[in-house]
Amino acid sequence: MTHHQPLSAGGWAFFSVKLLDSIANATICSVDREALIFLHIPKTAGTTLNRIIEWQYNPLSIFTVDPYRIRATVARFKKFSEQRRRRFRVVRGHLLYGIHEFLPQGATYITMLRDPVARVLSTYAFILRRPLHPLHRKLKAGRLGVEDLIRMTPHRQNLQCRFISGIGIGPNCDEGVLELAKQNLARAFRVVGLCEQFQESLCVMMAAFGWKVPFYTNRKVTKSRPSIEPHVIDMIREYNRLDFDLYDFARRLFEENLRRNAEVISKGLATLNSRRERGRLEKSWYSTLSAGRFFLTKVVSAL
């Protein structure tokens, strides 16, 4: 998590003006314009993509699902009036496929998938870093490893299939669920990105939705992880075999998308690489303003 020095009174004034300007200049939500659903599967570079999305749309038109806060849940979203749901341009968060049925203006999905081994290992590392996570104390106190985590959470294995098929956590995940997830990816997702090729995935989204990305930073990236024994990888593969199949299917979709848009992607990559380096002051300003936009989306989602 990035920490910032408190802003002075003058700094807050500058920040407030810039924030209001950014909202005024953002894309204005319009009735009956197709919404974007970002189906954020845990540990798939979603935090970085969320910060980018917040710069593409008016923060007041983004609904952010937060399952830990009673006023920003999928269940509450479904109870909104049709008029209110119709005005959202973006719905995003750790949500399952199917919420498009509650968007009368129509919607298209995007998501990011990740190699299942890397995703499971990232989940384990995340739990160890988060003392408030329900499993943190158990893993720490028992000095439990990745294999123990998998045995404790069979209902959360093949998580990418569970999210994209719409069955969620808990029910048995079988070949039928895998096929449903594949159908959903091919039919309802405008862009299926890959965590391992984030920049290319971002370029595809920029081309698909007309996004402008002047600058971005990777968020919540673990710098290094210890080497993993082969038998641990074998166990991850055994318990997540459906996710491996789905990932291979998604990779084929992604590669075909890259081929169809090769020239646009090449230009997009050149642009992104030329803009990655920014001065310290500019980074600080961008980060502070991003925090403000993020806060606005959370407020709107909780109202």
Closest CA to 219 of 12, 23, 47: 47
Structure confidence at residue 118 as a pLDDT band (50, 70, 90): very high
Report whether pLDDT(225) > 70. no
Structure confidence by residue, pLDDT tens digits, 122-161: 999 999 999 999 999 999 999 999 999 999 999 999 999 9
- Per-residue tokens: 89: 């341009």
DSSP string, 120-166: HHHHHHHHHH-TTSTTHHHHHHTT--HHHHHHH-GGGTTHHHHHHHT
Q: With respect to CATH, is domain 12-302 assigned 3.40.50.300?
A: yes
Lowest-confidence range among 14-28, 70-84, 89-103, 270-284? 14-28
Say what percent of the chain tops pLDDT 90: 64
Per residue in 187-223, pLDDT tens? 999 999 999 999 999 999 999 999 988 767 775 555 4
pLDDT at 293 over 60: yes
Q: Which residues contact 246 (CB under 8 A, 6 or more apart)?
A: 113, 160, 161, 164, 178, 181, 182, 185
pTM over 0.85: no
Band the pLDDT of 273: cuts 50, 70, 90. confident
Say yes or no to pLDDT of 68 above 90. Answer: no
Quote the DSSP letter at residue 35: E
Which helix (H) or strand (E) segment holds residue 18: the answer is: helix 9-25
| Average pLDDT along the chain | 85
